[in-house]
Structure formats: structure tokens, C-alpha cells
Amino acid sequence: MLNKTNVELERLEKLNKKYLKDDKNTVLRHALSNAAYSDVLHVLEEENNIEQKFSIENKVLPITNQKQSGRCWIFAALNVLREIVAKELKLTDFELSQNYIAFYDKLEKVNYALNSVIELIDKEHDDRELMFVLQTGINDGGQWDMFTNIVRKYGIVPKQAFKETWASSHTREIDSLLNSVVRKFAADVHKLYVDNKTDEINKLKDEIMDKVYTLMCSSFGVPPKKFNFDYVDKDGKYHVLNNQTPLGFFNKFVGDKINDYVSIIHAPTKDKEYGKRYTIRLLGNVEEGHKVIHLNLPMERIKELCIKTLENGELVWFGSDVGFYGNRTLGAWDDKLFDYESAFGLDLKFDKADMLDYHASAMNHAMVIVGVNVQKGQENKWKIQNSWGVDSGEKGFYVMSNSWFDRFVYQAVIDKKYLSSEELKALEAEPIVVPPWDPMGTLAD
């Protein structure tokens, strides 16, 4: 039987002497006293491999900025859709309203959370599923299927029809308020359940939703029911679209095409077989909307599908873990860009499945792949459209190394026309339900 051990003073003394005898440690300590790890441990030679030059590159509209919010998934998804609108209208500078999507996403998330609390009403406060609902709470993050639920129900509008507010661009305070609402509701309805007053629960929920709508309108603005959209095309010609509705605008430019996109994931863990569909319990926003569903595929197949999409002039929404090996100044994600091993003797590279199983990594940010460099049939780097403004990266664009893609990309959204017949057949199968805390249920923010 293994026993717990203590930090022994005698051992620390030996380690201290050993450390001080090594001049490399002295130089490293001096350097790190006034600089970040990423600056001191930067591998200069690797910069040659992350130049912004690509054999396949789709030209896209200017970079957007999510500011102090976790709406990357919304920005990335709208960056994909706006290219469709811009191509049709011949626009060179255009954004769809991210605030509009975020407004209804938060409203729907509150309703979804309250419904989840009611579903778990007979559970004690420390029940694992209820704890998940309350701890996850109302945040800015999301998944591709959550985005499509919103646009199918509420449509889209140009940014000029529903602009940003302070609260929409700085979401910490409103998220805190909404989470307090949900958690207090959980406490109140459990008491009603214990007191056998369940007939009062729906009334309480309706009152809360009415107040949340008021809060959202005061914070994000009142979403338009109709709008006019005037623009000047690339030839300098003025146009105006009058009396547009959000759903009408969406159906005019996107419509049923939104149903062609499917989420594919790379989840190499033992509990997830390739070629199977998975959904996550208690994860969603629109109650009557589609479930969050992923088709699990091998990494090489995911890359093949991404390249096919890019070759056809289309873009790829994708989710990854940007918490590792990133340099905002260079605009790079590259696992060979920093050398922790020679500095500290730390081998931080371990199996991707283990990273997921042992909570070392999970998807946390969504962006758009707009290009790839292929040499002699082998891809080696990818061009990324981010949503952190033009002051980050190379005017907002990033490079992702191929090895970083292997290790930290977990999800991509592909038009199903690129899938094989076997993969299309897999889409017809009933999805396997995994628990709420499964790493494939994490949200991009």
C-alpha cells in the first residue's frame, strides 16, 4: 500500500544546495525575475515556421473584437455567416450583430437553467447534476448547435441595426446578476417542493423571466423587430433593404444552409468510439431547440475535411484550448514555440486522451480557420481569424502550427456535403448521451 509522504526539510536543504551550484539556474532565475515565461523560454528558431504565408488562403472581411466578453463562439459563427451575406451583396466591410445573438442566447440560457433546476427539484443542493447546473450557471460561452438554435428562432441582423452596449461588451456584471437569479430560484423552488407548494413554481418562474427580459433590454438594448439596411457595395453603388425582419433577413441569405453544418470532434478517450454521435445531458440554450451533438472522428480525417472546405473557398468554425503555447504578439499557437523542458526539466506533453480524462485540457475558445499551408501533400500550419481585435496577432490573424492542431483542437464545424457515405449514415444514429461534466460539453468563450 502506498503511503502519503511529507515535504522533508532535510531533502529541501539538499535540493537547495544542488540548485545553487548550477549556473544555469542562476541565469534563468535572473531572467525570470523581470520577464514572463513566454518571453524567456521563447524559441526564436521556431518563428521561421509560423510566417503568415499559406498555399490555400481565403480572403475574408476585417477582424472583429469581442472585447471584455466570452462571446468568441458567436463572433466566430457570425464571421462565417457574414461572408455569405457579403458575397451576395458585394460588401467589403460588414458585421452581423453579435449583440443580437447574445441577447437571446442569455435569455434562453436563463430559461434553460430554470427548467433544469425544476427537472432536478427533488435533488439536494449537493447533487452532482444540480451542482453542475448551478456552478456552470449563465455565462457567455457556447457551442455551434447553441448558435444555430438562436438564429433559427430569432434570425440575424446587421450590426448597424443592433449595436454594442457597454454591458454587451463587458459581461462580467450581468453574468453575476443572472447567476444570482438562477441560484436564488433553485433555493426558493426547493423549499416550495419540500412544502408541497409545487403549483407556485411556474408562476415564480414566469415572474423571473419577465424581470430578466427587462434586465436584458436595459443592458443590451431592445432587439429590433424590423430594420432598414443601407449599404454601399464594392463598386461604390448605394443600396437599401427596407422593412427587413431578423428572420426574413436570415432566411434570405442563409436559410436552410444552416442545417447542413455538423459538429465533428476529436475525442480519443476510451469512452468515445470514432464514428459515433454524442450529446451532452443538461447542455443547451433554446429549450425546444436542437441538442448539442458531435460526431467523433480521427484527427487526420478532421484535417482532411477542413482542407476540403478551405479548398472550396469556405471557412471552418473550430474550437480549441488556447491556454497553451500561445503568443499574442506574434499571433501564434505553436507547441514548439516555448521550451519548458530544457529550462525546468518538465515534460508537459502527454497523451491527448489523458489530458481530457485528467482535466488538463478542454475546448475553451472558438475561431475560424481561413487558410492552410500544404507542402508535398502535408499540411504544416493554418491561418486563423480570431476575434480579439486588430492589435492582437498580425492585424488580428493568427497562425496555428500543425502539431498544436493535433494536441489542442477538439472541434470543427463542416458542411455535411464533405462527409463520406459512412459518416453520413452515422449522423442518422441516435446520439449517445454523456454526463454534463464531459469535456466535450465545455463551452467556447
Distance CA 414, CA 431 (A): 18
CA atoms in the 13 A half-sphere facing the CB of 181? 26
Rounded to the nearest angstrom, the gap between the alpha carbon of residue 388 and the centroid of all alpha carbons in its chain is 13
Distance CA 352, CA 409 (A): 10
Strands 316-320 and 409-415 turn out to be antiparallel
Would you name the residues annotated as active-site residues? Answer: 72, 365, 386
What contacts 270, CB < 8 A, 6 or more positions away?
Answer: 353
CB-based contact 145:293 (threshold 8 Å): yes
Distance CA 437, CA 196 (A): 31
83 closest CA partner among 92, 70, 74: 92
CB-based contact 290:147 (threshold 8 Å): no
36 closest CA partner among 340, 430, 269, 300: 340
Distance CA 102, CA 362 (A): 23
Strands 332-333 and 432-434 turn out to be unpaired
Q: Alpha helices, DSSP H only, in 221-298? A: 246-253
* Residue position matching grid coordinates 469581442: 66
Distance CA 47, CA 70 (A): 29
Beta-bridge partners for 373? 381
Q: For the beta carbon of residue 115, count every other beta carbon within 10 angstroms.
A: 15
